[in-house]
Amino acid sequence: MKALVTGGAGFIGSHLVDRLLQDGQSVIAFDNFSTGQRRFLENAQNHDQFDLIEGDLLDECQIESAMESVDFVWHLAANADVRFGTDQPRHDLEQNTLVTANVLEAMRKNDVRHIAFSSTGSVYGEASIIPTPEDCPMPIQTSLYGASKLACEGMISAYCEGFQMQAWIFRFVSILGERYTHGHIIDFYEKLRANPKRLHILGNGQQKKSYLYIHDCLDAMFTAVESATGFINILNLGTDEYVEVNDSVELITQHLQLNPKRTYAGGERGWIGDNPFIFLDCRRMRDLGWSPKCSIRDGILATLNWLQTNHWVFETRQ
Amino acid sequence: MKALVTGGAGFIGSHLVDRLLQDGQSVIAFDNFSTGQRRFLENAQNHDQFDLIEGDLLDECQIESAMESVDFVWHLAANADVRFGTDQPRHDLEQNTLVTANVLEAMRKNDVRHIAFSSTGSVYGEASIIPTPEDCPMPIQTSLYGASKLACEGMISAYCEGFQMQAWIFRFVSILGERYTHGHIIDFYEKLRANPKRLHILGNGQQKKSYLYIHDCLDAMFTAVESATGFINILNLGTDEYVEVNDSVELITQHLQLNPKRTYAGGERGWIGDNPFIFLDCRRMRDLGWSPKCSIRDGILATLNWLQTNHWVFETRQ
């Protein structure tokens, strides 16, 4: 089995590379290192069955030639940050929608028939049903990020229908754990390193979010690919808990033994397109026999511990 | 009020241009004449308040400069044919998704805040609820056409959220009437002109489809823009009837006084991604006070009559 992992030097991608190699598969990581980290592939680089292609998925030729003799594509490359859509309105279109179109075309031309895709709970916008099931009422998009991921889901499904491919589409909550490089924990930690006495919080701090630990996430993805046998398998991936941003802040500041003065930007949403309550119904995934082992609390602490011993990651942030 | 109609030389677009001019508005038609027809703008061309821009929406500069001082965008330009997605897999992405991204960016840069958009019932894939309401369970895309239109809907909604725009998104069934240039009626008529004794039908002929007459469609669009005051207004547009492809064939052959031998390609679907039963729940639109005046039968006959007196249109088909 030869697997191609796009975004293979990223947070989730690099963990996936390690797991696939452990599993005895040949692995190609494809990454442009816009946010991926070479250090995340240090283990993989020592492995005979591993190849790294430094390339840009917007270059159709590069991805077409990388796809040769591949059996399975794990397409994780993306702009993964929902927050800055309105600052750069074409960014999600290019890095998510167009990139995915190129991956699908490269698959079609090389007769590669299996794809797993990292979508997002953001496709639900502000869902009318919470916890939100995969077949909730058609939502209205509230972010360019969510819209671009929904566009990718649509193309993948249409390629499955039109070209006899099989897909596993994962709608993730935010993922936590070792190699975490963007999101609220690193943001808060970075702010507290700069000023331990004050912490500014986007929104009113009462936003409710669900998080999943990276190794639970990988277990789920492997379980799904082994057990979900439909042509198009759409699966929420989260936990049965959620926490308020204020709870996260409490946990982080306690762990760091700090007591900063909190200030709030105010409003229900942290940014344009922020969803004040993300909580997914994960029964489909549970019915495949998977369940998460790590609580949100433990995931946050594992993330903090990793950040505390990997300060180099702050230097590489843009 | 200055309106820009993209795809203004097309079937629906040119009728809309005529109606907007009648309504006293200044109108710019923007068209690349890939499927639009100059003859459809003959009336408009005599009007002082009318301007035609022959341009390509993939050229960001052209649409940006066309958007200057525009108040309202009717974005109808599209690849409007669901059938050939798998022959040219990038076509829907380019002509629908990318074009719409360019229109939205041009609007944002010119501070244009209102857009009406021609989406499609094809975004429902093979809907799990029939008649299908706008908030049906999240569907799985079955065609690249539907996927591209859903991508457009998502971007439009996210722009509304991010940049305080207002949108009317119309999910059309197939539209019939004068200036009809693609779809099953013209296909059947063309085949019967070539050979009146035999008619080959895609699928098994039992596909059930709903159709709407062009002037009912325009009435609905005007009613919605006047009466639906949400920021994002998503509205199905169809009739409370549907017909089988075989019923259409019967009506067409009777009208032409022909009795061809029918042959069938077979299968429930006419082509990859064809939906064997399209029937939309149009209560939202009805609740705004609109109802269609023309039956599907009369719409088909009006279309046939127009085709019979406008044979030139066959010469211009690609």
Residue A97 contacts B, CB cutoff 8 Å: yes
pLDDT digits (tens, 9 = 90+) for A89-146: 999 999 999 999 999 999 999 999 999 999 999 999 999 999 999 999 999 999 999 9
Say how far apart CA A144 and CA B104 lie, in whole Å.
12
What's the number of domains chain B is made of?
Answer: 2
| Among the partner residues A93, A108, A162, nearest to B272 by beta-carbon distance | A162
B162 to chain A nearest CA, in Å? 6
Residue B99 contacts A, CB cutoff 8 Å: no
Residue A142 contacts B, CB cutoff 8 Å: yes
For residue A80, the model assigns a pLDDT of 79
Q: Which two tokens stand for residue A106?
A: 């490269």
Cβ distance A157 to B147 less than 8 Å, yes or no, reads yes
The answer on A285 and A190 residing in a single domain is yes
B274 to chain A nearest CA, in Å? 10
The answer on B68 and B96 residing in a single domain is yes
What's the number of CA atoms in the CB half-sphere (13 Å) around residue A235? 31
The answer on B189 and B145 residing in a single domain is no
The answer on A231 and A190 residing in a single domain is no
Helices (H), chain A: 11-22, 42-45, 60-66, 91-92, 99-109, 144-163, 184-194, 214-227, 245-255, 283-287, 296-308, 312-315
Whether B287 maps to a domain, the answer reads no
The answer on B191 and B88 residing in a single domain is no
* Cβ neighbours, 10 Å, residue A40: 23
Burial class (CB in 10 A: 0-12, 13-18, 19+), A24: exposed
Residue A273 confidence class, pLDDT cut points 50, 70, 90: confident
Contacts of A175 (CB under 8 A, 6+ apart): A11, A12, A211, A212, A213, A214, A217
Residues in chain A with CB shorter than 8 Å from the CB of B97 are 93, 97, 151
B220 vs A3, B167, B286, B297, CA distance in Å? 51, 15, 9, 19
Cβ distance B143 to A135 less than 8 Å, yes or no, reads no
For residue B318, the model assigns a pLDDT of 56
| pLDDT at residue A318 is higher than 60 | no
The answer on B147 and B133 residing in a single domain is yes
Cβ distance B138 to A140 less than 8 Å, yes or no, reads no
pLDDT digits (tens, 9 = 90+) for A150-162: 999 999 999 999 9
- Phi/psi at B125 (5° precision): 55, -135
Contacts of A79 (CB under 8 A, 6+ apart): A91, A92, A95, A96, A145, A148
| Among the partner residues A85, A135, A144, nearest to B137 by beta-carbon distance | A135
A39 to chain B nearest CA, in Å? 35
Q: Are residues B179 and B16 in contact, defined by beta-carbon separation less than 8 angstroms?
A: no
The answer on A246 and A131 residing in a single domain is no
Residue B135 contacts A, CB cutoff 8 Å: yes
Structural domain boundaries enclosing A124: 2-175+211-237
Q: Are residues B132 and B281 in contact, defined by beta-carbon separation less than 8 angstroms?
A: yes
Residues in chain B with CB shorter than 8 Å from the CB of A104 are 89
Q: Are residues A148 and A200 in contact, defined by beta-carbon separation less than 8 angstroms?
A: no
Q: Are residues B59 and B28 in contact, defined by beta-carbon separation less than 8 angstroms?
A: no
Whether B149 maps to a domain, the answer reads yes
Cβ distance B147 to A139 less than 8 Å, yes or no, reads no
| Predicted confidence pLDDT, tens digits, chain B (318 residues) | 999 999 999 999 999 999 999 999 999 999 999 999 999 999 999 999 999 999 999 999 999 999 999 999 999 999 877 776 678 899 999 999 999 999 999 999 999 999 999 999 999 999 999 999 999 999 999 999 999 999 999 999 999 999 999 999 999 999 999 999 988 999 999 999 999 999 999 999 999 999 999 999 999 999 999 999 999 999 999 999 999 999 999 999 999 999 999 999 998 888 877 888 999 999 999 999 999 999 999 999 999 999 999 999 988 875
B58 to chain A nearest CA, in Å? 14
A124 to chain B nearest CA, in Å? 9
Helices (H), chain B: 11-22, 42-45, 60-66, 91-92, 99-109, 144-163, 184-194, 214-227, 245-255, 283-287, 296-308, 312-315
Q: Which residue in this structure is represented by tokens 């109609």? A: B5
Cβ distance B138 to A142 less than 8 Å, yes or no, reads no
Contacts 24+ apart (CB under 8 A), B45-53: B47/B21, B49/B21, B49/B24, B49/B25, B50/B17, B50/B21, B50/B26, B51/B26, B51/B27, B52/B8, B52/B9, B52/B28, B53/B28, B53/B29
Cβ distance A273 to B158 less than 8 Å, yes or no, reads yes
pLDDT digits (tens, 9 = 90+) for A185-227: 999 999 999 999 999 999 999 999 999 999 999 999 999 999 9
| Among the partner residues B97, B138, B161, nearest to A135 by beta-carbon distance | B138
**Could you give the dihedral angle defined by the CA atoms of residues A126, A131, A133 and A134, in that order, rounded to the nearest 10 degrees?**
50
| Among the partner residues A98, A139, A161, nearest to B273 by beta-carbon distance | A161
Q: Which two tokens stand for residue A86?
A: 């309105």
Say how far apart CA A204 and CA A198 lie, in whole Å.
15
Whether B223 maps to a domain, the answer reads yes
> In chain B, whose CA is at the least distance from the CA of A167?
B140
Q: Which residue in this structure is represented by tokens 């452990």? A: A22
Cβ distance B90 to A97 less than 8 Å, yes or no, reads no
- In chain B, which among 271-310 make CB contacts under 8 A with chain A? 272-273
**pTM assigned to the model:** 0.96
**DSSP letter assigned to residue B140:** P
The answer on B227 and B91 residing in a single domain is yes
Q: What is the CATH number of the domain that holds B304?
A: 3.90.25.10
| pLDDT at residue A149 is higher than 60 | yes
The answer on B268 and B301 residing in a single domain is yes
Mutation target for A interface from B63, B64, B102, B138: give the one with most A CBs within 10 A. B138
The answer on A275 and A221 residing in a single domain is no
A155 to chain B nearest CA, in Å? 6
Cβ distance B151 to A272 less than 8 Å, yes or no, reads no
The answer on A159 and A36 residing in a single domain is yes
| pLDDT at residue A50 is higher than 60 | yes
Q: What is the CATH number of the domain that holds B115?
A: 3.40.50.720
Residue after which a domain boundary falls, among A219, A237, A255: A237
The answer on A265 and A220 residing in a single domain is no
Say how far apart CA A47 and CA B162 lie, in whole Å.
45
| Among the partner residues B138, B142, B162, nearest to A138 by beta-carbon distance | B138
Say how far apart CA B126 and CA B274 lie, in whole Å.
9
| Residues β-bridged to residue B243 | B209
Whether B284 maps to a domain, the answer reads no
B250 to chain A nearest CA, in Å? 31
Q: At what angle do helices B245-255 and B184-194 cross, to 10 degrees?
A: 50
ipTM surpassing 0.90: yes
Whether B288 maps to a domain, the answer reads no
Residues in chain B with CB shorter than 8 Å from the CB of A129 are none
